[in-house]
Amino acid sequence: MEMEIFAKLAGKMGIGSAKLIRKAEEYGRLSQVKCMALNKVTPTSEAVICLDLAASYMKMPLDKEYAIKLSGITKKLYLSNLKAMECLMGLERHLGLSELGVQYGCMEAVGVATQILERYKKSLPSAQQQDLDLSKPLFTTTALYSACRCLKIQVDQKLAASSGAKKAVFGRLSVQFQSFGQDICKEPTTKMAQKKIAPKKMAQKKAPKRLEPMENLEVVEEDCLPSSVKQQKKEDKAEEGKTEIGQNYEEWKRKILENALKSNAEKCDS
């Protein structure tokens, strides 16, 4: 790739920073070594992408839409090549699990994802553990995605796409990570962390029973008595009634006789 193309395209894109152009030229030379396998990449589109990456690295503003138009390729192809070149040249910004959790709204899965990566590393031979970089997007995104699946948390499918890996590679690693995740989710400590404590219900105090009048209580008590006892009580009451009538009659008879005797005595005296 001719280095003069960078200055020419930078002028059209409104880039006046010589430092940014030199950084883009550096990326251009690196892409010649590491990005030879990319398809449908023209010298112009490759140079524009290098300028885009340099602007991102130096945190300088860039008109992305105009850059895509200037590249001469479609937006979809431009973004795909941008991501591929970024990964191949090792320029991708590695988001940690916490950052991914905030970005995709699944912070409750971060703890399980961390344990998945730890168990995955321990499952490998010592020689592979030394060279393993678990901060790469392939591992972090797959671990978080697998943790969400195990915890039955809905997550944006863009999380899987952000790994930058092919679907087959992501799928195989996801199956392996989910096996770790399922074991983790079955452990008591994980269950306790995920369990939602339901608010305790206030004990409802029973209202004191209203005291019934004595006559009502007598009726209730009488209803609870056996039939034989009820019959006996009825007979007793009838007998009491007869006795009371008899006593009243004798008293009435006594008074009549007394009055009659008094009347006769008065006649005799007269």
Residue 191 binned pLDDT confidence (cut-offs 50, 70, 90): low
Residue range(s) defining the domain that contains residue 240: 225-264
Residue where a domain terminates, one of 40, 62, 88: 88
Query: Do 125 and 178 sit in the same domain of this protein?
Result: yes
Residue where a domain terminates, one of 22, 53, 88: 88
Look at 228 and 219; give whichever has higher pLDDT: 228
Query: Do 83 and 101 sit in the same domain of this protein?
Result: no
pTM for the structure as a whole: 0.46
Which pLDDT tens digit goes with each residue over 30-43? 888 888 767 678 88
Share of the chain above pLDDT 70, in %: 70
Share of the chain above pLDDT 90, in %: 36
Look at 233 and 14; give whichever has higher pLDDT: 14
User: How many structural domains are present in the chain?
Assistant: 3
Mean pLDDT of the region 94-123: 91
Mean pLDDT of the region 137-151: 93
Output the domain CATH number for residue 69: 1.10.472.10
Tell me the C-alpha distance between 69 and 54, whole Å.
18
Q: Is residue 109 part of a domain?
A: yes
Residue 211 predicted with pLDDT over 50: no
The confidence score (pLDDT) of residue 261 equals: 66
Query: Do 64 and 148 sit in the same domain of this protein?
Result: no
Under 8 Å between Cβ of 142 and 100: no
Rg (CA), the chain: 49
Query: Do 103 and 190 sit in the same domain of this protein?
Result: yes
Lowest mean pLDDT among 80-84, 148-152, 193-197: 193-197
Q: What is the DSSP string of 65-134?
A: HHHHHHHTS-HHHHHHHHHHHHHHTT------HHHHHHHHT-GGGHHHHHHHHHHHHHTS-HHHHHH--T
Q: Is residue 175 part of a domain?
A: yes
The confidence score (pLDDT) of residue 221 equals: 45
Under 8 Å between Cβ of 148 and 100: no
Q: Is residue 217 part of a domain?
A: no
Instruction: Classify 170 as helix, strand or coil.
Output: helix
The confidence score (pLDDT) of residue 210 equals: 47
Mean pLDDT of the region 154-168: 82
Which pLDDT tens digit goes with each residue over 42-95? 889 999 999 999 998 888 888 999 999 999 999 988 988 888 888 788 787 677
Query: Do 47 and 105 sit in the same domain of this protein?
Result: no
Query: Do 103 and 182 sit in the same domain of this protein?
Result: yes
Q: Is residue 270 part of a domain?
A: no
Mean pLDDT of the region 245-257: 69
Burial 176-189 (b: 16+ CB within 10 A, else e): ebbebbeebbeeee
